[in-house]
Structure 1
């Protein structure tokens, strides 16, 4: 299963790649689609400039609600968007770097400090960022942001800590792909403490701490974290969750108030999967246990140097 794919729908809107030749008179209403800027897999700076020029000259920018930056377009500086903020006055959703694996590995997609971008678009409601190298996030936060997802094979720990501490009073959904130490990750439970304590994000209802090699430690922390009772859904998917972490969840605070618990891509035993199912499903919790994995040392022989028992995350390189 590939977790890194082009988005087909974004912000509840179908994604439309800016067409290269279609007359402006036959384009859809600017507010009815999420506009995707895509210059092609072998694009040059000139190709991107042509794509960007066509978008800015034929689409009613004042009506654009959602924007997706695909291959070629993702190389543009944030300043290019910021310079258009006076025209993109209705922008509510932004997807940075919608690239698949065959276009660029997620671990090499470069981002930047998002503070100026967030300041330029106070009306932004949803932000998705793919890639983590160079990423940072303002602790001052954003008053209107309701959904934030960072997809990364290695989210810089400082960026994760800043997101955890950021003032996001309207945020309802937060998903962080924490990633692997070898690709720039390494976030600790301690760095996520403000998030787990439920500080600065009073509206949060969905939390995803995903794609992490320390999933057991996160599960143990969530077992008593003050943020959990206010959630309606929780995801510890894509990571190296084992029976140890699942045991901590089962012996921690009640999870029966959740509508959904996503543990997909895990390393749980069949007995533990049955225990989770019988503990939560009768209470109405939808439990996702899809994607049971075998440890690498089970498949290829014991690895005495492996500190995680041969477990691995879903997306790293």
Structure 2
């Protein structure tokens, strides 16, 4: 998940820019990174310029933005975001961006210094997928984007302002939305009022998968989902990775019907054995993931990804 670099993205194998020999630009998701850990290594800008010098750079479909510096020394994504925006006219075929493919050995997820990613969406109106890892300093403003199909934010703490901006956006093609809400200790300060616009679904008419996961308030998420209008349109719902207890599961079972779902992911939870059995029994026609059960009697309950 966050312990190994991506090997596939947007349905394409990931390769480093200096591995381009024998491959066309459209065949691969190209990993662009710098390395400030060693003085003789090139910077992110150097590697990105190398890609832009290719004769077929206008055919590049997917980019994985890897390390751009020492994240915990306050290096932020402002530089890669700015360079990507400036290069938009030279990358007309770009469909997918993963911003921040740092693994835990390079940076804890809470240390990854992010930036306002709104310019990526405005600069690439044909973008189909945007994945962002890290929430420190992350920004997003409400946008209208008619092509985006997948939007994912991986974080140990997703700022409430970002959650509200998604709810205030118009994303008519979006089918997959995944938010790792996280812990307030790591800027994951959103609550029911912040989730409300997303759960109302007004700007997300095509959504079929919703992930509101990795939350210390997973019971509150479950209670909000239980009455949310958008749920009736979903095919899959992901409430995994968080501190979900019997109270949250009971809210799900006593709320609106979930039997129309193809899949419900509750992996990494704190349900009693009895409640887990009730969920499985009550949703027999649904593929329910109840794996990675934690001890519900444990006083120290943790989300799967935080620091």
Tell me which residue corresponds to 2:250: 247
Tell me which residue corresponds to 1:67: 63
Tell me which residue corresponds to 1:114: 117
8 Å contact from structure 2 (residues 52, 90) kept in 1: no
Alignment of 1:198-209 (within 5 A): 198-209=201-212
Tell me which residue corresponds to 1:13: 12
- TM-score, structure 2 as length reference: 0.92
Q: 2:42 is paired with a residue of what secondary structure?
A: helix
Task: Give the distance between the partners of 1:115 and 1:220, measured in 2 at CA.
Answer: 30
Give the paired residue count. Answer: 299
8 Å contact from structure 2 (residues 158, 187) kept in 1: yes
**Structure 1 runs of 4+ with >6 Å offset:** none
Q: 2:25 is paired with a residue of what secondary structure?
A: coil
Task: Give the distance between the partners of 1:195 and 1:59, measured in 2 at CA.
Answer: 42
8 Å contact from structure 2 (residues 34, 41) kept in 1: no
The alpha-carbon distance between structure 1 residues 289 and 177, as it changes in their structure 2 partners (threshold 3 A), is same
Tell me which residue corresponds to 1:179: 182
The alpha-carbon distance between structure 1 residues 61 and 275, as it changes in their structure 2 partners (threshold 3 A), is same
Which of the residues 247, 267, 271 maps onto 1:264?
Answer: 267
Task: Give the distance between the partners of 2:229 and 2:242, measured in 1 at CA.
Answer: 22
Which of the residues 34, 37, 44 maps onto 1:39?
Answer: 34
Structure 2 gap segments, 5+ residues each: 70-75
Task: Give the distance between the partners of 1:173 and 1:104, measured in 2 at CA.
Answer: 27
Task: Give the distance between the partners of 1:32 and 1:147, measured in 2 at CA.
Answer: 20
Task: Give the distance between the partners of 1:83 and 1:216, measured in 2 at CA.
Answer: 43
Tell me which residue corresponds to 2:290: 289
Q: CA deviation at 1:199?
A: 1.3
Q: 1:287 is paired with a residue of what secondary structure?
A: strand
